[in-house]
Amino acid sequence: MLILIFMLFFTGYSIAQADRKLIRQGNREYEKTRYSESEIFYRKAIDKNEESADAVFNSGDALYKQKKYEDAGKQFIETHKMNEDKVKKSASLYNLGNSFLMANKLQESIEAYKNSLKLKPDNPEAKYNLAYAQDLLRKQQQEQQQQQQNKDNKDQEKKEQEQKKDDQEKQNDDKQQKQQDQQSISKEDAERLLNAIANDEKNVQEKVKLAKAAKAKVKTLKNW
């Protein structure tokens, strides 16, 4: 039984030593700003010991430096679950907030910073980043409101222009119709005038005929 306990302890110790060695190698690469190489060592450490919260946390840092903010965030969420120590849990949430901030997920970053400060209220960096994220969110919301207002104004202006165009077209149609009506009336008047002239000429001709006829019937008296 003692031998078995010793073997289990030795095996666990060997695994811990192996992952710690890989983490140290990753840290050296990280300090040289060789973040991709450091990530490889951290992942190897995780393969050796899946319960190594430090390896997971450091891999998140390496991913963050490579601007892989979504992947980094996943690692920080995982380390927050794995750690029992409040300081480390707070650090995980702080880094998670940074990942959200860089990914322009402002509301999520604000929540992460707030939760980090609940565990470690004296973290000045978390306080500063929280205020910064809140200010960015406020400006973003103001810009969105201004953009929406500009859009509404443009839509209203377009609507008014279309209404004005419709009114103008209606006025043109009414004017055209009025002109057509006037032309139609003028034609009718012209026809009546022509008919009247024709009737007058007919009447004159008839009067001339009657006058001639009357003259023909009147006999000239002889002189006495």
Burial class of 103 by CB neighbour count within 10 A (0 to 12, 13 to 18, 19+): middle
So what's the pLDDT on residue 30?
97
| Per-residue exposure over 19-53, b if at least 16 CB sit within 10 Å of its own CB, e if not | bbebbebbbebbeeeebebbbbbbbbbbebbeebb
Rg of the chain over Cα atoms, rounded to whole angstroms, equals: 50
pLDDT score at 210: 63
Distances (CA, A) of 96 to 35, 83, 120, 204: 18, 14, 15, 113
pLDDT of residue 49: 94
Torsion angle (degrees, nearest 10) of CA 19, 22, 28, 33 = -100
Structural domains of the chain in order of their starting residue, each with its CATH number: 13-66 (1.25.40), 85-142 (1.25.40.10)
pLDDT digit string (tens) for 116-125?
Answer: 999 999 999 9
The number of beta carbons lying within 10 Å of the beta carbon of residue 209 is 10
**DSSP state for residue 222 in the 8-state scheme:** P
Q: Which residues of the chain have pLDDT under 50?
A: 1-13, 15, 218-224
